[in-house]
Structure 1
Amino acid sequence: MYFPYLRGRQFDLIAIRELVEKNLIDEHIVPIIEPIKLSSTLISTLRAFVETQREVLLIQNPCVGNFANELETHELYEEYVELLKNPYIVITHFFNENSVFEIPEITTNIEKKIEDLAIIHKKDNIGLLPIYKEIYSSVIPKYTIIPYEQAFRRRMRGQNLVCLKNEFKKQKRNTDYAIDVDEFFSEEHLHYNSEGLLGFSDYSVVGDDYSEGGFAPYAIALHIVYFAYDNDNSDYVLRIRHFVSDSNDDIRDPALKCSEALKKLEEWTYTIRFDNLFKTYAIEQLLEHFYRGAYPGLPTLKKLALMHHIQLVNIFLRGEVTDELL
C-alpha cells in the first residue's frame, strides 16, 4: 500500500479528491493528510473518501499551520467532528511525551477504539518508544508510520509498519533543477513487502518542506515521475524528470513559462513508450493545456503532477506494470 503524505494545502486536497471521485485510485492508496486549516475543501475531500468507501489518514495534532488553534471555534467544526466518526477517516496522531493522556482522550471524544488509530513517529522520538509500548501493550495501532530508520524497524517488529521517506530532492529555486536530465526517485514500491512493511510513504513530488506563503517564481518547473527498468533491481523503479521553462530572467509572463515547460513535456512523450500506462489523467490534462495554449496557474500544475504520481503508483500496485506495457 502507498501512503502519500500531504500537507493539506488546497491543491493537495483537490488532487486526492479528484483522484478518488474519478475512480483513478483504489484501496492501494491511503493518503495521509496533515491539515493546515479547517476549510470547505478539507471537508469536501474527507466526504469524498467516505462516500467512495476509501480510507484516508487525518492527523489531529498537526505540526504546521493554524489548524489546532482555530478548530473548535470554526463554523465547520461540528460537520468536521461528524466526519471523524466515520470508519474510513482514520484518526492519526503524532506521538509525543503527552500521548499517554492524549490518545485515550481522542478515542473518547470521537468514539473510536485505540486500535483503530494511526500513529506517526518522528525521527527524534526514538526515546519515546517505552511510552508508546505502554499505551499499546495489548493492542497495536491500525497503522504505525515510522521514519526510514533501522532503529525504528528493529524495535517495532510485529507492528503494522509504514516507512516514511522523503524521496524528492527539492532545490532552492526552480532554475536549479537539471534541465532535460532525469534522476532516480524511488524503489520502495519494490521492497516494502519483502521487508515486512504494510506499506510505504513519501511526500510525493512536493517534498517535506513547508512554508506558509508562496511567491512568483522566475521559472516554472514540472516534476514528472515515470517507470524505467533497472538492472540492479530486475524490475521497474520510479525516476523523475524536471521540465523547466526557459524565459527565467524575471517573473514576467508566467503563461509563457508554462508553455515552455509543457512543450518540453510534450516533446518528451515522443521519446518514451507513451501508452495508456504513462498517459494518466493528469498527463492528459497537462497536454491539453499545452495544445489549447492555456495557462491553468501554478497550483493546478502542481496538483496535476501530484495526481500523476499517485495514480501511477496505484497502477503499479494493481500489477499492471509489465514489459508489454512499457
Structure 2
Amino acid sequence: MLSSVLYALLTACCIQNEQAPMSSSLRSILAEPGCVVAPGIYDMISTHLAISAKARILYMTGYGTVASHLGIPDAGLASFRDMVDRVAVMGRAAREAGIPLVADGDTGYGGLLNVDMTVKEYERAGASAIQLEDQVFPKKCGHTPNRPVVPKQEMADKIRVAVEARQSDDFLIIARTDARSDQGLEEALDRMAAYDAAGADILFVESPESEDELRLIGERFPHKPLVANMVEGGRTPVLDARRLGELGFSLAIFPAIGFLSTAKALERAYGDLVATGASAGKDDLYSFEEFNRMIGFERVWEFDKRHARD
C-alpha cells in the first residue's frame, strides 16, 4: 500500500497538470517579504509533480539526483557531466513552466577553471541559480559527518570566478559553507561574510543546529537572501516557511521530502506485491489516467490524431 504521506502529496499536486503561469525572476521572488518554499526534485516525475503543485521555485537536490540517477551516495562520486545532463532535462521543464530552478553544483567539480565551466554549463542548461559549497573534494551530503572545508580564500576565489563566468546577472550564485559542523558557527559566519564580499547573490550556512543559530544567521546578513536547508531527520530543526521568514530567511529548500516519501511508498507497495502476488490496495494508487496526463500523453494522442492517415 502506498504511504499516506505520498498519496496525499500526489493527490494535492496533480489533480491537474496545467503549466504554471510565467513567474517572476528568481531575484525578484527572493526580494519579496517572507520565505518561499522550494520542493526538492531529483528526476522528471518529481519535477512534473512539483510543477503541478504550483511551486514558485524548484530545487534540484544533489543527494536525490545522484541517488536516483546512479544509485550511489552523494559523496563526490557523480561527475560534472552526470549532473549537468540532469540540470538540462529538469531545467527545460522548469523553463517551459516559467519556474526558476536552483541547482546543486557541489564544489564546482574542481578548481577555478572547472568552476568557470560549471557555471557556464548550468546556466546554459536552464538553471536560474547554482549552489557552490566550500567542502574539500570529494564532498559529502551536508547533514552527514566529517565534512572538511577548503581555506576561506580559496572558496572566495571560486565565488569571484562564478560571478565573472555567468552570462546574465539574473543567473544567481549561491555560496554555501559547511564549516558549522566541524569549526563552529562563528567560523561559518566569518566565511559567509567573505563569500558575500566576493559577490555571492545568496548566502547559505549549511546545517545550523538550533533555532537560535538560525536567528543569528538572519541577524548577521539582513541585506542578502538566505537559504535554510530543511532536511527531515537532519541536523537543523525543521521549521515552516512562516517562522523561517521571521528569522530572516528568503528561501527554504526541502530537498529530501520527495525521495523520502517515494522510498517509503515504494517499500510498502513492492513489499505488499511480493508478499501477496497482487497489487493490493489499488484504491490508494495514483490514478493511471492522471499519471498519463501528468507525463504528457495527451499531447501524444492529439499529435497522433492530427497526423493519422485515413
Question: Counterpart of 1:44 in structure 2: which amino acid?
Answer: V
Secondary structure at 1:31 match in 2:
strand
Given that 1:53 and 1:88 are in contact with CA atoms closer than 8 Å, whether structure 2 keeps it comes out as no
Match of 1:68 among 109, 118, 127: 109
Secondary structure at 1:206 match in 2:
helix
Match of 2:287 among 284, 289, 292: 284
State the 1:93 CA deviation: 0.9
Secondary structure at 1:131 match in 2:
helix
Secondary structure at 1:57 match in 2:
strand
Alignment RMSD: 4.5
Match of 1:153 among 208, 215, 219: 215
State the 1:193 CA deviation: 2.9
State the 1:204 CA deviation: 0.7
The equivalent residue for 2:99 is 54
Work out the CA distance in 1 between the residues paired with 2:86 and 2:172: 25
State the 1:165 CA deviation: 2.5
The equivalent residue for 1:167 is 232
The equivalent residue for 1:15 is 45
Work out the CA distance in 2 between the residues paired with 1:82 and 1:138: 21
**TM-score, structure 1 normalization:** 0.48
**TM-score, structure 2 normalization:** 0.50
In structure 2, the CA distance between the partners of 1:148 and 1:133, relative to structure 1 (3 Å rule), is closer
Given that 2:227 and 2:249 are in contact with CA atoms closer than 8 Å, whether structure 1 keeps it comes out as yes
| Matched residues, number | 207
Work out the CA distance in 2 between the residues paired with 1:85 and 1:17: 19
Question: Counterpart of 2:257 in structure 1: which amino acid?
Answer: S
Work out the CA distance in 2 between the residues paired with 1:54 and 1:114: 13
Work out the CA distance in 1 between the residues paired with 2:60 and 2:98: 16
State the 1:110 CA deviation: 3.0
Given that 1:115 and 1:142 are in contact with CA atoms closer than 8 Å, whether structure 2 keeps it comes out as no
Work out the CA distance in 1 between the residues paired with 2:278 and 2:157: 50
Question: Counterpart of 2:174 in structure 1: which amino acid?
Answer: A
Match of 1:188 among 219, 231, 240: 240
In the alignment, is residue 108 of structure 1 matched against residue 168 of structure 2?
Answer: no
Work out the CA distance in 1 between the residues paired with 2:119 and 2:49: 21
Identity percentage over the alignment? 9
In the alignment, is residue 206 of structure 1 matched against residue 268 of structure 2?
Answer: no
The equivalent residue for 2:265 is 222
State the 1:133 CA deviation: 0.6
Say which structure, 1 or 2, has more relative contact order (CA 8 Å, 6+ apart): 2
> More strand per residue: 1 or 2?
1
| Structure 2: unaligned runs, 5 residues or longer | 1-35, 66-77, 135-148, 293-310
In the alignment, is residue 2 of structure 1 matched against residue 37 of structure 2?
Answer: yes
State the 1:243 CA deviation: 4.6
